[in-house]
Amino acid sequence: MNIRAKVAALTAGIFLVLGIAEILVEKQVVMPSFAELERANARVAMRRINFALEMVIDRIAVSATDWGNWVDTYRFVQDHNPDFIKTDITNVALRQLNVNVMLILDPDGSIVASKSLELNSDQPLGLDLAAREALPIDFPWRANLRDGRPARGLLATNRGILMLATAPVLDGNGGGPARGMIVMGRLLSASDVRSIGAQAQADLSLLGPGAIQGREQLLESNDVTRVYRTFDDVYGRPVMTLRVNVPREVTLRGHAAVTYASACLVGAAVVVLILLVSVLNRLILTPLAVVTRHAVALDEGKDLTTRLDLARTDEIGVLARELDRMVARVAESRTQLVDQSFQAGFAELAKGVLHNLGNAMTPIGVRLANLRERLRAAPSDDAEQAVAELQAGAVDPQRSADLEEFLRLACRQLAGTVRSAQADVEVMTRQASAIQTALAEQLRSTRNEHVIEPVRLTELVAQSLEIVPDSCRQRLVVDADETLRKLGVVRVARTVLRLILQNLIINAAEAVRDAGKEKGALRVSAEIRCEAERQQLHLQFKDDGVGIPAQNLERVFEKGFSTKSPETNHGIGLHWCANAINALGGRMWAMSEGPGRGASMHLLVPLVDRETMSLAGAA
């Protein structure tokens, strides 16, 4: 995907993310806020309904207070004069008071006067409360009667829900003691419900006491928000439930406004996106594509004579002019670098080959020297002289027996020497084969061809030990960690990796020697890492030798750098190892806690899977 497509995709992605964010904000913040506003309005409407209901009861309470603080009422409670009932507690008085029932109680709770009326028809109401001779024993307001305190509330009767208010009977000047209580009540009719709803400017309905669970409940539908509230009577029992219906106009209008705003935002985003892509394409992407095609043409055609000559004054114009100047400088220096790199490459390759051959030839030379000493010490000459003396026949029997015994012992010693020589020859044969393989690999490396082979890491360590000098093997115990066996077979450039392991084992043995130890240990562990979407083999070689100072951890891989004697070391080994690992696409680094505390070498080598190997073989 080119930059133009990436920029278009990125810009479109940004606007898409912004659009999704805008939708989420609408759904998670804006619309819920509208819904919450409607719920708050519905609860406020219910509070207005409650206030309007209390206002109705308050008006009844005002009337009850006026009648209770009337001197005629005060005298009637004392003398029970029937003329008071005939002249004052009349149908006209109840209609003027707009109440359905009036009761006058004495201090004992007995009803001394009662009147109930159907206001619309002037017929007796037939109210069970007015038909009593006294208040029920468990009536909650008996305490108010004794204390001379007013009260108000709701009461379920045989004719419906009664809105009640009471006031103490006083002497007309607000003085006492109270001589009883006056009770006034009004039935909560359908017209009262409509009137209360009209006062609160809400759609109000009266329901039974079991309409909801709990005291208050809010339910929502697509069109309306309903708030339910249960009211208790004077006994504290649910007596009725009022429901307020609030149309969801806020949500509908908010949804319409949000939809309109979203459409405008999408339209603006599309316009901005088109303009932005057009401007980017004209000012940046098209000139950048010209520079890119020119760079690709330089790489494919190897023609360093062409120039961009882009007439621009912005950053892309500066980049184009710098590219032209860079190509000119490259063209001037390429000719010189070709000859120099040719000679330098062969010299560097020769150093690495000679260093590795030196390491590989050392154990062969040691074995040949040991073999020469054993052959020199073999009694071959004495055996030939004894055989010649026996063949001459001029010896006495005792001498002949001694010679024969000597020949038997000499043959046994010569046979042991021959067997030992055969073992050494087999080892040197394998070492010579390893040298030949290394030379062949070095020849392939000049053509950038590394042979990838399946190998077990434990076997690779054992093969590396075979080409290590005996003195190094005797000084060092190589511990192949369990992780090497668990990894099983891996596919790597076996020969190159074996030469690197050989160098690391020799360096570890020399580090143990420099630490003044007779015997040291080298622990080898392995793991598989996944980096840059491919598997890589991580090998760690940790010794207990002299260690590496912190300032030398990176320098040990420099060509010619060495902390050892320059007479025996030329600073080539680790430098060659690092270059070889880099050629395989990996890397190498060193770690140490300081002098005297050992060091660890780390190799990171890309692994080759079966599919890659089959493709390489087919190619």
Query: For 265-322, what is each residue's pLDDT tens digit?
Result: 888 888 888 888 888 888 787 877 777 777 777 766 555 566 777 777 888 778 878 8
| Tokens linked to 186 | 């009004």
Among residues of the chain, what percentage have pLDDT more than 90?
A: 26
Domains of the chain from N-terminus onward: 36-247 (3.30.450.20), 450-618 (3.30.565.10)
pLDDT at 444: 58
Decide if 57 contacts 184 (C-beta within 8 A). Answer: no
- Catalogue the E-assigned strands of 169-284: 181-187, 203-207, 216-220, 224-232, 238-247
Band of pLDDT at residue 339, cut at 50, 70 and 90: very low
pLDDT at 435: 73
Give which of 248, 247, 227 is closest to 31, Cα–Cα: 248
Band of pLDDT at residue 559, cut at 50, 70 and 90: confident
Q: How far is CA 487 from the centre of its chain?
A: 30
Decide if 243 contacts 205 (C-beta within 8 A). Answer: yes
Q: Report whether pLDDT(338) > 50.
A: no
What is the distance between the alpha carbons of residues 296 and 302, in angstroms, rounded to a whole number?
Answer: 10
What is the distance between the alpha carbons of residues 33 and 40, in angstroms, rounded to a whole number?
Answer: 10
Among residues of the chain, what percentage have pLDDT more than 70?
A: 87
Tokens 């890119």 correspond to 292
Other CB atoms within 10 A of residue 593 CB: 12
Decide if 599 contacts 547 (C-beta within 8 A). Answer: yes
3-class SS letters over 146-162: HHCCCEEEEEEECCEEE
pLDDT at 335: 38
The model's pLDDT over 360-396, given as tens digits with 9 standing for 90+, comes to 677 777 777 787 777 777 777 777 777 777 777 756 7
Other CB atoms within 10 A of residue 253 CB: 11
pLDDT at 443: 53
Q: Which residues lie across from 134 on neighbouring strands?
A: 110
The model's pLDDT over 583-606, given as tens digits with 9 standing for 90+, comes to 888 899 999 998 888 999 999 998
CA 595 to each of CA 183, 268, 543, 572, 600: distance values in angstroms, whole numbers, following the listed order? 106, 68, 12, 22, 12
| Tokens linked to 503 | 């160098």
What is the distance between the alpha carbons of residues 320 and 328, in angstroms, rounded to a whole number?
Answer: 12
Decide if 19 contacts 266 (C-beta within 8 A). Answer: yes
pLDDT at 473: 85
Is the pLDDT higher at 141 or at 295?
141
What is the distance between the alpha carbons of residues 484 and 87, in angstroms, rounded to a whole number?
Answer: 118
Decide if 545 contacts 599 (C-beta within 8 A). Answer: yes
Rg of the chain in Å (alpha carbons): 56
Q: Which residues lie across from 161 on neighbouring strands?
A: 156
What is the distance between the alpha carbons of residues 451 and 75, in angstroms, rounded to a whole number?
Answer: 128
Mean pLDDT of the chain, nearest integer: 82
| Count of residues making up the chain | 619
CA 326 to each of CA 295, 313, 322, 606: distance values in angstroms, whole numbers, following the listed order? 11, 18, 6, 34
Contacts of 69 (CB under 8 A, 6+ apart): 167, 170, 171, 172, 173, 174
What is the distance between the alpha carbons of residues 207 and 225, in angstroms, rounded to a whole number?
Answer: 16
Tokens 């003691």 correspond to 177
What residue type is 194 in one-letter code?
R
Contacts of 242 (CB under 8 A, 6+ apart): 46, 49, 53, 204, 205, 206, 207, 228, 229, 231
Within 69-163, residue ranges assigned H as helices are 71-79, 82-87, 91-97, 142-147
Task: State the Cα torsion 487-489-490-494 to the nearest 10°.
Answer: 120
Q: Is the peptide bond before 177 cis (omega within 30 degrees of 0)?
A: yes
What is the distance between the alpha carbons of residues 49 and 240, in angstroms, rounded to a whole number?
Answer: 14
| Tokens linked to 356 | 């590795």
